Chains A and B, each alone.
Chain A
Amino acid sequence: MSSSDAHVVVLGAGHAGGTLVALLRQYGFAGPITMVGDEPIAPYQRPPLSKAWLKGEADEDSLALKPLEFYAENQIDFRPNISAVSLKRADKVVELSDGSTLSYDFLVIATGMRANKLPLPGAELSGVLSLRSAADAEALKGHLKPGRHIAIIGGGYIGLEVAASARALGAEATVFEREARILSRSACEVLSTFFTDYHRARGVSFELGAHIDSLVGEGGKVTGVKMADGRTLPADVVLVGVGAKPNDEIAADAGLETARGVVVDLEARTSDPAIFAIGDCSHRPLPLYDRMFGPESVPSALEQAKQVAAAITGRPAPTPEVPWNWSDQYDLKLQIAGLPFDADRVLVRGDPASGKFAIFHLKGDQIQSVEAVNAPPEYMMGRQLIGNRKPVNLDRLADPTVSMKEVAA
């Protein structure tokens, strides 16, 4: 078998799978490609779902990675509304939910994650939603209007973005967070405090250290959030944003190594050389930090799609990228580069009260990560300094009158 007649089967038609099949054709791969996805529509961008989509500034066409006809024109057999139910590695065959089977030479698992359910009474009420897919976003959209109250359970980035969109649409929003501060899992206290204050000033209420007893409803429809302290706060709709888990069962059941995601190497290859895993369902190496991680981000999915396309077409593996991510809330653009692993010091450059600042996480005089709010120079230069591991002078870094170019010089 040469790679030109190999059959590539991609399980999952999300941002990762959709990017991979397009890259394979871009890189000149001429063999058959089949991509199955459990959603009714072709691969699309998820990040706008909590922002532009809710606000009516994006439609299905603008969200689509490629127009639907792209797949047929490029001999990509895209099958919507189908998922894989089992994997027989010895025969190189996957069984699909419609009862059919597919033989593969290369299999790519790109099955993403699913939202965690709220483990509380009332979670099954109508109006209790999560936000992973375009269908989820469409269900949420109709609720966000003046006079309506959305309860957002979980103070992570998706919840905060929805809170900002809700306020833009005139709805009332309350964020419930079990921990003492929002973003406790992903950001430092300075950033948590900044975002809490920014949202409060725009009318969002917060219940921090919240102990929720249950969701309550009438006629099967949610009407409120009952707290352990006896209060019941009104809610016309509840968004549950309490994390997600990788859809890695198909890999685990087939005996592939998993660890909160399918374990892969720097080519995104699993413990089976004919099988790759990319995107949110994978657990991947981060060479810069010398460890494994599940980044749950679009940029990581895109990087892994490039790794697989290169591996299948015999191109050299792409240079590892600095992990990054972003979040848009109101007029704030948060850009994050790197991860704060092993950091021993936090340095704030600029004044958070000005709405324009950056938080550097340092290990000695090396930058491990940067969280930049409306501060592209700090983000862009921070990302380069994280990648090239160049030591920086901390006094100069802390002084916003010294430009980032001078800091890096």
Chain B
Amino acid sequence: MAKVTYIENNGTEHVIDVKAGLTVMEGAVKNNVPGIDADCGGACACATCHVYVDAAWESKTGTKSAMEESMLDFAENVEPSSRLSCQIKVSDELDGLVVRMPESQH
């Protein structure tokens, strides 16, 4: 279990206990947190689960696959801290993780 803080673009915070093994995307979607659409359900096919990972957590959230890198390269409002949250697996190590959401996923 890890506590993950999801911050909507308007500043609203959602602190969620996410089971280890789920992705950061699933933690949001299964708890009805707004701002992460995840149209493809985690197939890395749509880039609608885009989040910004707080700098302190970048090393712990793993490296991007070529597919993720490539999808993000063409998404909107991309920053160096951008990730697709369906590609970050939650573990106890990520307890305290903070992710922020872009203005829109579409």
A contacts, CB < 8 Å to B: 22, 25-26, 45, 47-48, 62, 64-67, 70, 74, 298-299, 302, 318-319, 321, 324, 326, 328, 333, 335, 376-377, 380-381, 384, 404-405
Contact = CB atoms under 8 A, between A and B. Distances in A.
Contact of B106 (A26, A64, A319, A335): A319
A381 B74 contact: yes
Contacts of B40: 47, 298-299, 326
Given A26-B32, A318-B106, A380-B47, 14 more contacts: A47-B40, A70-B32, A298-B40, A299-B46, A302-B37, A302-B39, A333-B44, A333-B45, A335-B45, A376-B71, A380-B71, A380-B74, A380-B75, A404-B74
Contacts of B31: 70
Contact of A25 (B32, B43, B44, B70): B32
B76 to A, nearest CB: 9
B32 A377 contact: no
A326 B47 contact: no
Contacts of B71: 376, 380
Contact of B41 (A47, A74, A319, A405): A47
Nearest to A408: B74
Contacts of B44: 333
Nearest to A334: B45
18 contacts: A47-B43, A64-B30, A70-B31, A319-B106, A326-B40, A326-B46, A328-B43, A328-B45, A333-B43, A333-B67, A376-B70, A376-B73, A377-B70, A380-B70, A380-B74, A380-B75, A381-B74, A384-B74
Contact of A66 (B30, B47, B106): B30
Interface size classification for chain B: 20 to 34
A377 B74 contact: yes
B36 to A, nearest CB: 11
What does DSSP make chain A's interface, helix, strand, loop or mixed? helix
A60 B34 CA distance: 23
A335 B32 CA distance: 26
B73 A324 contact: no
A379 to B, nearest CB: 8
A26 B34 contact: yes
B32 A66 contact: yes
Interface string B30-62: 111010010111011111000000000000000
A53 to B, nearest CB: 12
B21 to A, nearest CB: 9
Contacts, number: 62
A399 B64 CA distance: 27
Nearest to A73: B32
Contacts of A70: 30-32
Nearest to B21: A62
Contacts of B45: 326, 328, 333, 335
- 6 smallest CB-CB distances across A and B, nearest first, come from A380-B74, A376-B70, A326-B45, A45-B41, A376-B71, A26-B34
B67 A376 contact: yes
Contact of A324 (B46, B67, B70): B46
Interface in B80-96: none
Most buried by A among B34, B37, B106: B106
Contacts of B37: 302
Contacts of B26: 62
Contacts of A326: 40, 43, 45-46
B67 A321 contact: no
A63 to B, nearest CB: 9
A335 B47 CA distance: 12
Nearest to B76: A384
A324 B34 CA distance: 22
A146 to B, nearest CB: 27
Most buried by B among A25, A299, A324: A299
Contacts of B67: 333, 376
A138 to B, nearest CB: 19
A384 B75 CA distance: 10
Contacts of A335: 45
A74 B74 CA distance: 36
Given A47-B41, A326-B46, A74 B32 contact: yes
A404 B70 CA distance: 11
A302 B70 CA distance: 24
